[in-house]
Amino acid sequence: MIKKIIKTLLITLFLVGTFNINAQEKFGGLALYTVRGDMGTDAKATLQAVADAGYKNIEAAGYKDGKYYNMTPADFKNLLTQLDLNPISTHQSAITPDNADVMFADAKAAGFTYFVIPIPPMGLFKFDSKTQTLGMTGGAANLANILSTLGEKCEKAGLKLLYHNHDFEYKKDKDGIITIDYLLENTNPKYVNFQMDLYWVIKAGADPVDYFKKYPGRFKIWHVKDMDDQGRFAPIGNGNIDFSRILANKKLSGMEYYMVEQDKTFNMKPLEAIKVSHKGLKEIGFK
């Protein structure tokens, strides 16, 4: 009788353990810009919630005065290790050739592999509040030169530089130049590559797969967010972007990581939206 009870307990423990392993299966990445408000309130609790939602990798968007979310690079790295989260990339828009060495050193100390420039730096990015449109000044050639200079510094620091797009880079500028095309054709892939934001590419009327075919291997990280019928940001699976077709071409693109990002979550709290997106990732076939 006692042997049967022990056997039953062992089987139960095994099944519970197996269930927990499956339930805690972690994959995919999250751009912390999605939960920036929560990160500002309680970074540790928010990162725990990100881990609990099933994410494995993170992209930071909270660097200021040498710290990530008010933590030293080492402390931030240690916290991620405790939570079983991997620091993959960091968005740092305030970079210039003068502060680049310090920023790269901090990113390296925090454990990041990729340093992402999220908008044209050094005051080149423009936002028109009246028309709600994004843009830049200075021209594509100027931006290419800046990225090339920063990319060489980044490579020497042991990091990889990426440039992140919005919609305007995929449209013709006032000179008839498509900025992203110019950047792809006039930067050295040893020093400069790209983070493709799939939503913004489609918003611009371009096709991500066409770019993978024309410039294979240049898009090392994707930003993944869906688009609803109004053209707004939506959780993965709650919109109309054909991610399956895009995902089928991931090797061609050069994608090594992908990050869920939702700039605004509208009637859903960010920490709830990331759960919906993680479920959507799995249903689509992201791993």
* 100-139 confidence digits (pLDDT tens): 999 999 999 999 999 999 999 999 999 999 998 999 999 9
Q: Which CATH number characterizes residue 176's domain?
A: 3.20.20.150
Q: Render pLDDT for 231-284 as a digit per residue (tens, 0 to 9).
A: 999 999 999 999 999 999 999 999 999 999 999 999 999 999 999 999 999 999
Query: Buried b vs exposed e over 5-33: b needs ≥16 C-beta within 10 Å?
Result: eeeeeeeeeeeeeeeeeeeeeeebbbbbb
Residue 5 included in any domain: no
Task: Quote the CA–CA distance of 58 and 84 in Å, as a whole number.
Answer: 11
Q: Render pLDDT for 143-177 as a digit per residue (tens, 0 to 9).
A: 999 999 999 999 999 999 999 999 999 999 999 99
Residue 37 included in any domain: yes
Residue 18 included in any domain: no
Residue 103 included in any domain: yes
Task: Quote the CA–CA distance of 75 and 91 in Å, as a whole number.
Answer: 18
According to the model, what pLDDT value does residue 14 have? 44
Instruction: Compute the residue count for the chain.
Output: 287
Total domains in the chain come to: 1
Residue 3 included in any domain: no
Q: pLDDT band at residue 25, thresholds of 50, 70 and 90?
A: confident
Residue 9 included in any domain: no
More confident residue, 154 or 11: 154
| Domain coverage including residue 151 | 24-284
Residue 75 included in any domain: yes
pTM above 0.75, yes or no: yes
* Position 195 pLDDT exceeds 60: yes
* Position 98 pLDDT exceeds 60: yes
Mean pLDDT check: name the lowest of 7-21, 71-85, 183-197, 215-229: 7-21
Average pLDDT over residues 76-84: 98
Task: Quote the CA–CA distance of 34 and 58 in Å, as a whole number.
Answer: 11
According to the model, what pLDDT value does residue 8 have? 46
Residue 61 included in any domain: yes
The CA distances from residue 122 to 131, 167, 191, 206, in Å, are 23, 19, 19, 27
